[in-house]
Amino acid sequence: MQILSFGYNQTMTITQIFRFLLLLTLVLAQNLSAQPQADNPIEQSTSITVTPASQPVTDVTLSESPVNDMAVLELESASTSVRDIMLVLDNSPSMKTTDPLSKLSGAVTEFVARLDDDSRIGLILFDQDVRIIVPLTPTTIANRESITGALAQLNYAGQHSDSASAIEKAVTELKTNGRSNASQYIVFLTDGAIDTGDTNRDNERSNWLQQSFAVDIAESGIKLLGVGLAEAAGSELVSTVSLRSGGESFTAMQAEELSAVFARVNDYILLNSGPVLAAVTENSVTQAAITESPAPPVVQTTPAVAPVQVAGSEDRTRSMIIMIAIVILILTLGALDGLFDVTGADDKDR
């Protein structure tokens, strides 16, 4: 009975020890398996394709400064932008009717004041004759007074209006004295059609100007910006020549609108040659510096399959504990089976 009791107690003691170890191992394995996945996240890779962009990027910088009047806006252009501009103005007697208060002189003065020191401007007056009053001259502060002072000769005292010859002379001046790195413009204003006193010659010159010569202007890289004053017979001429030369057409229905129209002309020039654009409010001038810079590359991202992650130290520990638990389980089952076999054999012997 003592032997049987000893064998039974020994069996129960070993069984309880193995059960305790097995239970402890399983609890540890479960706690480690229950840890948040965020502690060891799986990083997904991304395939990145870089493609150079073909278009430049325009950077706009806004600044606001108060002004007392809306008369003159001083605009600054990008340092890399230069402009050569020829003003071609009608000095024929019909202008006395369309501009009796000489509003054109004030509009041109404001136009010149908006240009920066990198720009150059020339002035041509035409009636029956065509005269270069101001050759291409830098629009520095020191030169602006002499440039606008030449407008005193704009007196509408001519006899006729030979606008075709005036535009031709402006093109020649730009081709001869214009800078190769400059954007070139002709700003042409008239209130009527070509009038040389010879109707047949007027028709010939008008057709030549609107057709073949307008194409020549465009091929030269010169943009003609035409301003038609009032709804006159010359409005179609101004529009056709401007558009066929690759430029733009503007209309002032009355002389009082000339200042605003020339401001639009200035904006067009600035926007087409890397400018600073100013927007006028009642009490302030908002300046937007517009510059071009090389375009950044276009980055295209393509999600890729997440790579297989190498197991960390916690993963290895967890795996080892699970393996130990399995081994202990096997040993426990084997030990219990052996002990029961031994006990049974002892019982049989007894």
> 271: phi > 0 → left, psi -120 to 50 → alpha, else beta; which?
alpha
Cα 240 to Cα 224: distance, rounded to the nearest angstrom: 10
Cα 328 to Cα 28: distance, rounded to the nearest angstrom: 14
Q: What is the pLDDT of residue 322?
A: 73
Q: What is the pLDDT of residues 70-126, one digit of tens each?
A: 443 444 433 348 999 999 999 999 999 999 999 999 999 999 999 999 999 999 999
More confident residue, 312 or 290: 312
Sign of the CA dihedral with 257 first, then 259, 260, and 263 last: positive
User: Of 52-56, 109-113, 140-144, 321-325, where does mean pLDDT reach its minimum?
Assistant: 52-56
Sign of the CA dihedral with 198 first, then 204, 210, and 212 last: negative
Of all residues in the chain, what percent are helix, strand and coil, respectively (each to 5)?
45, 25, 30
Residue 155's Cβ-side half-sphere holds a number of Cα atoms within 13 Å equal to 7
Q: What is the pLDDT of residue 174?
A: 98
Average pLDDT, the chain: 75
For 99, phi then psi, to 5°, come to: -135, 65
Residue 152 to residues 37, 145, 147, 208, Cα–Cα distance (Å): 85, 12, 10, 32
pLDDT-derived band at 276 (thresholds 50, 70, 90) equals very low
Amino acid at 314: E
Bridge-based pairing state of the strands 298-303 and 46-51: antiparallel
pLDDT-derived band at 323 (thresholds 50, 70, 90) equals confident
Domains belonging to the chain, first-starting first, are 69-293 (3.40.50.410)
Whether residue 286 is predicted with pLDDT greater than 70 in this model: the reply is no
